[in-house]
Amino acid sequence: MKLNTKGLILKEQSIGEQDKLVTVLTADLGVIKAFVRGAKSIKSKKQSATGLLCYSKLSLYNGKDSYIIDEAQTIEVFFGLRSNIEKLALAQYFAELSCELAPELSDANEYLRVVLNSLYMISNSKKPDLQIKAITELRLLSLSGYMPNLVACERCGEFETETMYFDIEHGLIYCENCADENAPLALELGIVSAMRHIIFSKLEKLYSFSMTDAQLQDLSYVTETYLKSKTERKYRTLDFYNSLRKI
């Protein structure tokens, strides 16, 4: 059966001399793997449309072991990523996150919208890269079942104090009056407010907040540390991105 969908290419792997296997994030089918026959041929119209981080219209059908992409037409290639190694590394990290967190073979519309919006934002420098990184990490985590409980202090229900304490292991927040001597990570209220915004806001408002550079550093550290704690793995693309930021 032939299917038509739109998808973001998350990963590509060479198969033989002419073909490749791609991992694609789609709205309606989630994360899928698909063969692209003749993709590496100079004459192939599918070559650019099935390249890494391309968002394309795809015509595919079920093969024996995976989907097969019959036709592909480029919608967006995010040119702004291609001329900046740091932005490209961050975009590849978002692709790796999508492979880890987005569902396979089921609805993934919001995952796709978040990642596409984030790629557009970093490609066009609409917001600081660290802000987009933190937003993408925490929103994708929340969509995939790892949403932390940041509504109020876990013990007394206090909504906010000047300093709040985040228990990364359990995804819980405590006010400054309830944190014990083994207090989890201390966060200024502005960081907690940003995290609440990322979790609860509508997609249209997701990126609409501003922070100082110092606050963005702290926010990025918290979301990255929480991500590693919940997924219990390292990310090669994240390590590379962080290495570039230290140069």
Same domain, 137 and 184: yes
pLDDT of res. 62: 85
- Residue entry with tokens 């309830």: 178
Same domain, 142 and 219: yes
| Cα separation values, 98 from 77, 161, 162, Å | 17, 34, 34
For the whole model, what pTM was predicted? 0.94
Domain that includes residue 70, residue range:
2-76
Q: Considering Cα of 235, then 132, then 193, then 199, what sign does the dihedral take? A: negative
CB atoms within 10 A of CB 236: 10
| Contact criterion met (CB below 8 Å) for 60 and 2 | yes
* Tokens of residue 129, six digits: 């890269």
Question: Residues near 212 by Cβ (< 8 Å), separated by ≥ 6?
Answer: none
* Tokens of residue 98, six digits: 């999508």
CATH number of the domain enclosing 161: 1.20.1440.120
Same domain, 15 and 102: no
Q: How high is the mean pLDDT in each 10-residue block of the chain (247 residues)? A: 93 86 96 85 74 95 84 94 95 98 95 98 96 98 98 96 95 92 86 98 97 97 97 96 87
Distance between CA 116 and CA 136 in Å, rounded? 10
Name 58's bridge partners. Answer: 5, 72
Name 63's bridge partners. Answer: none
pLDDT of res. 40: 67
CATH number of the domain enclosing 42: 2.40.50.140
Distance between CA 80 and CA 28 in Å, rounded? 27
pLDDT of res. 184: 83
Same domain, 65 and 146: no
Same domain, 139 and 20: no
* Tokens of residue 177, six digits: 């009056």
Number of separate domains in the chain: 2
Same domain, 101 and 125: yes
